[in-house]
Structure 1
Amino acid sequence: MLPANPLKKCLLIPLYMLLLSPVSKAQPAPQDSFEIELFHHTAKDSERVDILNKASRAYFTKDAQVAEKYANEALGLSSQLHYMNGRIWAQRNLALVENTRGHLDKQMQLTLSSLKLAESINDQHTLSILYNDMGNIFTEQNSPRDALPYLLKSLQIKKNLHELSEISKTLNNIGSAYLALHVLDSSLLYLHEAEALKLSQNDRRGLAYTYENLGLVAMLQYRLEDALHYHQLSAECYREADNQLGMVKSSLNLAEVQTFMGDLANAEKNLQHAHAINGVLKNVKNEMIYYKIRYELDSARNDYRAALNNYKAYTERNLEFFNLEKSRLISRSQEKYEAEKKQKENILLKKEQQIHLATIQQQRILVISATILFIALLAITFMLYRMFKKQKQLTRELNSKNQEVSLQNHIILEQNTTLESLNQVKDKIFSVISHDLRSPLAILEGLLFLLRDERITQEQFKFYADELWRDVKNTSYMMDNMLQWASNQMKGIGVKADDFDILLLLNQEFELLQTLAKQKEVSLQHELSGSLTVYADPEMIRMVLRNLISNAIKFTQGGGKINVSARIDRTFAEIIVRDNGTGIPLENQHRIFSNIYYSTTGTRNEKGCGLGLHLSKDFVERNRGRIWFHSTPGSGSSFSFTVPLSDEADTNPRGYTVIIQDQGSNGMTVVK
């Protein structure tokens, strides 16, 4: 049996949050009888809609595709018949189908649509169930505080209606919400109350969810024997109801508990069983949980290589799930913006149409009046004159309104441009964090966990140390670039120019980069004949030098050379960073220094965020310089930039050259 320690209890917390799911999904399931009823009842009426909805409800835990087919047919027929109740339940069944697939955003949209219809007809029974569904969705989205108001509202309505079966489901769901909040005493209070009601009604399908939640509470309290007992009861109830999704969850729960109890053989069997069923259901969240438990099981077997691979698979799916949720959020925001924009355009068009209709009506009145009062020419002339003045005034007012609308449109366009720029900054930051920064941190977390738990030796850890150090160093440089770029994009960076010796600044950066160069066995040197005083922002020039030199190291193979030199051209100093690395492909050279954020992996798969050269160009130009490059694929690259010389430049040469390269244990040679 594995030793008990607080770290394992901490590992249970994110897992039970992923395993929480709606518990009001138990239903009677006489599918064959529904199929017979549909076969005999062919009339396209509300009775057939009710049969279709019941059949969909019966199938959704066993065959989601069949349930979706019946729900879609019920929805279409309800729309034709204008049968409100049938439409509500059809949309609710489609929402439950999306839940089995892990599509919580689609489930939320369908449930909200049903809830609005139910509120319009004030159907209390339906409202209680839909409020219960809303609470379940928020619990699954790790927002239990948002779930509790809906669940408590649902419970109050069900108690008013004296619906004991429905009351037990909502009690169970409130227990799930408190479980997600980690308020275990309150969770147990509601779960035991739900258990008593379901036992009194012999509701085996409902007991499956309650036992599952009681098992999760026991796992958090590290009562492993109780957790195993409750999960076994839950698995038995799910099998009796032929609930495929429930069987996947119960198998994962059993595997988790058995892993911590040291029963690794049965844990393996339950994991394989869950993986086989989920292969048909294709629930992305359960697949993520599978790799999480597989990683824990391999760690318990001391198979650390397999554990690391499974942990990587878990983090990859976690990142995919995060990026998918982020894309859906952005898509919904864009759709909302477009809808509001169209609504404003429709309001403007409606106002213009009303103005045109008013003008036409006035013209008709004018024609009728002219016909009736033809004999009274003077009166007609006077009336025409009055109407002409009024129409002219309306025209002026209309022109004034058009100018106001034009000004508002101009303001809206400027705001849209600003929002698009901010969205680009946000998307770039999310992209770097979710892909380039989280991956090395996740790998570091996994290795440190194995080392801390004494499941990997110091020698095994040192095997990965060099590659891990390089990844962390590159990540640090990427973070510097990203923060500088984001600050520059969102509020701008002021230039703080001053006189400084660029040689001293270059030596400081060499001290930081020599370890990185030594690790790749790359010779790193600079040749400056003496003090070189320039007038610029030293921190900006430091960032330019760091980006150019680190890029050269990134794309230079072992044994290669990197040389930094300088020359003076009247009022400017030109700094050249030259390497004999891989060079830049001709088809990609046009992307350098452009607004297209371009990044490729280095000779040892080093990553970048694509901001370094773009940021360097911006900093050089802000300091009244320019930057350019020459590159030959396969032979290396040369990047040059200019910086203004100081008016008080020191012309006394110091006459020394610093060479930093890999020379055995010494690591650095200084030649003066």
Structure 2
Amino acid sequence: MQRIILYILLCGSLLPGTFRARAQSAEIAGLRSSLPFAKDSMAYVDMLNQLGMYYHLSNIDSCFLLATKAREIALRLHYKRGEAGALKNLGIVYGQQFSIQQAIAYEKAAMALYLASGDSANVCHMMNNLSIDYEAAGNKPLELYYEQQAMAWGSRLSNDSMYSLVLSNYIIKYTKDSTKQHAVKWAYDQLRNITARYPYSREWLYAKMFEAVTLLKQGHGREGEVLINKVADTAIQKGFLHLGIAAYFRVLDDFIPMGYPADSVLYAAKIFKLSQQAGYYELMMKMLPYLYRHYEKVNDADKIAYYGNGIRQLALHQLTLQRQRGEINYLEYFMKEQEMQSLQLRNQVQQQAIERSNLERVTRRILIWFLAALLVLLTGITIVYYRYYRNSRKYELRVDNMNRSIAEKNRLLRSNDDFKNKLISVIAHDFRDPLNNIIRMAAMLQAHSLDKPAMEQLTSQIADSAAETLAVFDNILRWIKSQLSGFIYAPAPCNIYSMMTEALPSIQHAAQEKKVSISIQVPDDIQVAAEREMLQFVHRSLLNSAISFSTPGGQVQVLTTGDAGAVKVWVKVLQINITAAMLPHLFEYRGTSYYKGFRRHDAELALVICKDFMDKMGGHISAAPEKGGFAFVYELPSFH
């Protein structure tokens, strides 16, 4: 129910201050009748956006169609404020359709337009919406980020009502969190100070709801219930039906869960009645089953008939909406829009290429005319010298521009060359052992006649090496994708012990050749938030590098430590064959196989890629000296 209350408060903030829920139909009729008489196209866009906002609770399809029409006109007129309003309505539509990622995309686009136009109130509003949407999407870091940004922007606004909304949502969200009670009290004090200047306003009514909950927590539940009903009555008298509904929800979500003996059926019936007056069909559908089942249990024939008729009317209403909506495909619209943006960007690139080509032709023509002019003006040395000097300055400017262009292209070439070298290193590093194993076993097949059990064992080993090669290939593809644009990092729970155990077979042959012992001293319940394939590549690379840097007969230990929500994984090499001066440079890439007088180890480019992966996953990796050796250490957020 908490998200329902946040949504009701959000809806109330979206509507104009003069809005009265019981007059919504009259407002819609008035706006529709005024559309043909709009003074200009921008006013027409604003009216479409306002009309769509009125429709978003009772007819989401109408809200969608009005928003798309308003956006189309706003784009044609280059009317940024109108486009932002349409994007905001589209975000609401996709949020109600549970297409959270699409809703977030539209709200971010609207926020960017509001930022460009300096509309701080709407920027704060979009940040508040994004915090709620990221909560629904389960993205805790971005939820907290936008929540903090909304609080910071709201505190600087001259528009107290928007800051009051942010504070109200914060209080509702954390009122039951025992660790946030100090912050909730601070937010409540701020809200009360603001609303004291506007008695009987919407913000004042919000504050009174929280005052009633505070009375309940202090042991004055009866006084709190009386205050809640007074707030609801005042809101209804002023026409704020959505606030009356929010007040009654406080009883269901706060009073009853805290043990106060309130009549839940009575308040559910009040919410249903107000939702029926306001046309909030979603809330009616949430209340009806509960009320119908209750009166069916107590065998109240009149109430059963009343609420049964309500269910029938809602079913007819939903059937009518489905027939009218014409199979609107919201996802198809979103995908076509993304495709159109891609085509527009491609067209811009082509236009720039054409303009560059035209500029080159113009430059060549100027040069030809310049040479012709020199031939004609050879008779006057002074004139020739003057023209030469003047045109030489122009030529210097053109050469300078060309040099800058060449320098930029060289930078891109170096970047591509670095990526190519890394890729070659990964292939050489991760494919060497599996392919060598396959070749070695194939040679054994050719050189020896083996009995059937030995043949089966050798064939199984070849299959295992081939499977390992394919797994390495998949990891390389994963790394290549992480270097390309459009890569989205999606963390998941990763068990360190099981992943380290899975990585051992890939380096077992190298460990046996150098007689290096490996011990994994990791609890089997340690988990980190990471991308599994990236992290497994890091594990294999660190173990392989540890064996490479270890002396024959050495030891490698894998340990973990954790504090403050993070986990550190240590891969310790107890006997090493490299100097301490090399350790700070193991994760650097210099584009050459030599660095400061020593040859780079084969594993070092793989370590550079490990650092790339850690940066992608929001972690950190380094090499630190230990007693008699050194240790690879990486740190990632713990997964709870």
TM-score of the superposed pair, with normalisation by structure 1: 0.40
TM-score norm. by structure 2 comes to: 0.42
